[in-house]
Amino acid sequence: MWAQELADARYRVLGIDISEPMINITRRGVPKAAFRVGSLFEAAIPPCEANTVICEVLNYLFDPENSRQRLVGLFRRIYDALAFGGVFAFDIAESRQTRGEPRPGDSPKGKIGWCSSKRRRTRSGER
């Protein structure tokens, strides 16, 4: 479990999920971490060195807060919370996982992983 790996490595861990049963299971499994029930599209994001959004939660279509506009807002809030040099890593499901039809270029397991880091801008605006 990712939260356990982070807690064991002495990172401060905050987990957020819309499912109360999932949060309860994870709380029992990782007592050193903090967990909250809620939509990641509404949750406050504390200042951090890294942020991971994994297990395809960005695809949660049953979260009424999920939309393209809200996703852009979430990415902005995560970026704003990251320290310079901080990392944001996430995964999403591709079309073959959500619709059952593979597209040319789909990854073998139907997932895409992304990672981005926050850097200071130079005076010329370059990164």
56 or 104: which leads in pLDDT: 56
Residue 108 φ then ψ, to 5°: -55, -35
Domain ranges of the chain: 1-38, 47-127
Residue 31 has pLDDT above 60, yes or no: yes
Over range 62-91, report the average pLDDT.
Answer: 84
Residue 32 predicted with pLDDT over 80: yes
Q: Point out the least confidently predicted range of 22-26, 58-62, 101-105.
A: 101-105
pLDDT > 60? residue 107: no
Tell me what pLDDT residue 116 has.
64
Q: Which residue has the higher pLDDT, 114 or 90?
A: 90
Query: What's the half-sphere exposure (Cβ side, CA atoms, 13 Å) at 3?
Result: 20
Q: Residue 115's pLDDT is what?
A: 64
pTM: predicted TM-score of the whole model, two decimal places: 0.70
Mean pLDDT of the chain: 78
14 touches 33 (CB < 8 A): yes
What separation in angstroms does the CA of 29 have from each of 7, 38, 76, 87? 11, 19, 31, 25
Res 47 pLDDT > 90: yes
Q: What percent of the chain has pLDDT over 70?
A: 69
Question: In 46-118, where does DSSP find H-type helix?
Answer: 68-81, 95-99
pLDDT exceeds 90 at position 105: no
Strand partners, 111: 93
